Structure 1
Amino acid sequence: MTASVTHDPTGARAHARAQGGVRIETMPILPPSTADHLPEGVDPARMLWAETVAGGGYTALTVAAGTLIELTDLEGDACAHLALFNAVQTDERLNLADTVKVQWQAYLSAGSLLLSDRGRVLASILADGSAHHDTFAGTSNRRRNEERYGDGSPQGGTPAGLELLTLAAAKCGLAPRDLPPTVALFQGVRVEPDGAMRFTGSAGPGAGVRLRAELPLVLLLANVPHSLDPREQYVSTPLRVRAWSGAPAESDAPEATATPEAARAFANTIAYARLRGIR
């Protein structure tokens, strides 16, 4: 039927324009102020982005310092594989080894910082209703997905995280070699005394995580099953993304005064941002 109305340019144009008012759940909402499920207490005029990322989908955002980003696991089986870059200097990126080592803690929660390879704070975790996250395993890749599910291509029915993040990176001028190990939000892993990694799953539907960008950021996100998820099926459900304007932390913020390590990381971040004129 589509072919019959699009066999000439006039029909194709009419058909395309007829789709203008169509909305589906997994698409950006423009303007963001018209989205439902706005964060409580946030003026709609401050909204910068509203999107639901489908299971097996991805998104790429570039945000200003101070931007608040809220991720919500709508049905309990989302998994946000997240890569972060300094948008001003994209060779600076999320470093999970330093994130864990500097903070003496491998399990992220409210108050945790996502640190770069330069000892600076890329983002702070302001609130965490999940407590099921992973800094160890990284995202899935095409070869492993094809062993498990039969397909791992970005266009297939069971896409792998690395392939989706590669597409997201390309939209921001980044190459595959730029991708760092990713943090996984909403699906957890615990390390046993013998070193084995135990998959703990999710906290269930409705869990949310709120981040604040402490520098201008490129944020890449793939919503795919965790690489250690033992289920035979490819299980991945929608992830809601909301972003709104705010201000980055100052040196007296609770996140910056919580520990000596945090104080040093924020001092590095603030000095760098002021020197670059981005604060």
Structure 2
Amino acid sequence: MNNTPDESRRLWEERVPAGAHWSWVLRRGTTLRLTDPEGGANVAMLLYSREDTTERYNMADTLKGQHTAFLTRGNVCYSDMGRVICSITEDTCGWHDTIGGLSNAALVQQKYGEARYQEHRNAYHRNGFDSLVNELGKYGLGRRDVVANLNLFSKVTVNEDGALVFNPGNSKPGDYLDLRFEMDTLVVLSTCQHPLDPAPAYAPRPVDLLVWRSDPPGPDDPCRNHCAQNQRAFTNTERLYPLG
């Protein structure tokens, strides 16, 4: 496994601060590496087709099509049109939450107390839902466009009573995952804490981003061949881009 992309392929890199929000359009044929530099990060992510933002990541289809409740290397993210938005080509963390949802203002205030911008400036308490809505507004999208999100680097399981349980320590310093984009995709993310995080203090973590040009998936690609449904979804995607 080559953990470092070739220097000639690199496009850019940056750090998204703790508790911040970010967005960009990642083109088909690029890979985004997200790295947790400190450990314990959470990245709430939403994905939309750049050509038509009414086509977006579909949690239910992603999970049932691949017979899983979480995502890791070899899995893909489906759109609600049965296409592959992106593929997880590398992953040192091993478990990324798909069911935990987002924090909101009321939850953050209840757990961590009130810290408003007026008094605390950039140290004010942010929440996942409002952060994503603020970022979506740059593209003419809003609250109604927030769907079930990914929570990268976080692990949530279900106990015998059916309750969702957050598993601290899932992501260690330096853990990363690579998302290879199979469609031109609007990526929107927040680095606020997971809503089920039991930490007693408001302490979100930053995430590092690195983007590079990547090779298209061939016929022997592990993500394509993870299951028969993935093969069909790749075919649907490639019909959208007949010229490569």
On whether the aligned pair clears a TM of 0.5, the verdict is yes
Q: Which residue of 1 aligns with 2:154?
A: 187
* Cα separation, partners in 2 of 1:153 and 1:242, compared to 1, 3 Å: farther
The Cα of 1:251 is off from its aligned counterpart by 4.5
SS of equivalent to 1:114: strand
Q: Which residue of 1 aligns with 2:130?
A: 163
Query: Larger relative CO (CA 8 A, sep 6+): 1 or 2?
Result: 2
Letter in 1 for 2:212: W
**Greater C-alpha Rg:** 1
Q: Any unmatched runs of 5+ in structure 2?
A: none
Q: Summarize the alignment of residues 27-66 of structure 1 with structure 2, pairs less than 5 Å apart.
A: 40-43=4-7, 45-66=8-29
Inter-CA distance 268–73: structure 2 relative to 1 (3 Å threshold) = same
Preserved contact between residue 40 and residue 171 of structure 2 (Cα < 8 Å)? no
**Pairing partner for 1:270 from 231, 238, 243:** 238
- What is the CA deviation profile of residues 181-226 of structure 1, one whole-angstrom value per residue up to 9, with x for unaligned ones? 1110111101224321111122321110111001000000100111
**Pair 1:134 & 2:97 matched:** yes
State whether structure 2 residue 94 is matched by structure 1 residue 148: no
1:197 partnered with 2:164 = yes
Shift of 1:66: 1.4
* CA-to-aligned-CA distance 1:104-158 (integer Å, 9 cap, x gap): 1112110011111111110100111112321111111112112212248786622
User: Shift in Å at residue 88 of structure 1?
Assistant: 1.1
Partner of 2:192: 224
> CA separation in 2, counterparts of 1:236 and 1:216?
29
TM-score (norm 2): 0.90
Q: Distance in 1 between matches of 2:111 and 2:68?
A: 32
Question: Which amino acid in structure 2 is aligned with residue 89 of structure 1?
Answer: D
Q: Distance in 2 between matches of 1:152 and 1:226?
A: 18
Asked if the contact 1:215/1:248 (under 8 Å) is kept, the reply is no
Find the aligned partners of 1:156 and 1:177 in 2 and give their Cα distance: 28
For residue 229 of structure 1, report the CA deviation from its aligned partner: 0.5
Shift of 1:175: 2.0
Deviation of 1:50 (Å): 1.0
Match of 2:74 in 1: 111
Show the counterpart of 1:15: none
Number of equivalenced pairs? 237
What is the alpha-carbon root mean square deviation over aligned residues? 1.8
Segment of structure 1 superposing worse, 75-84 or 150-159: 150-159
Instruction: Give the one of 34, 37, 48 matched to 1:74.
Output: 37
More displaced 10-residue stretch of structure 1: 262-271 or 241-250? 241-250
Match of 2:47 in 1: 84
Q: Hey, what's the Cα distance between the residues in 1 that align with 2:43 and 2:114?
A: 20
Q: Secondary structure at the match of 1:244?
A: strand
Return closer, same or farther for 1:267/1:251 CA change in 2, 3 Å cut-off.
farther
Distance of 1:165 and 1:217 partners within structure 2: 16
Aligned equivalents of 1:151, 1:128: Cα separation in 2: 36
Q: Check the 8 A contact 1:251/1:263 in 2, yes or no.
A: no
Give the Cα–Cα distance (whole angstroms) in 1 for the partners of residues 130 and 10 of structure 2: 30
Evaluate the alpha carbon distance shift between residue 41 and residue 144 of structure 1 in structure 2; reply closer, same or farther with a 3 A threshold. closer
* 1:94 pairs with one of 38, 57, 62: 57
Give the C-alpha shift of residue 41 in structure 1.
3.8
Percent identity between the two aligned chains = 33
Shift of 1:174: 2.0
Q: Distance in 1 between matches of 2:140 and 2:10?
A: 25
Question: Deviation of residue 172 (structure 1)?
Answer: 2.7
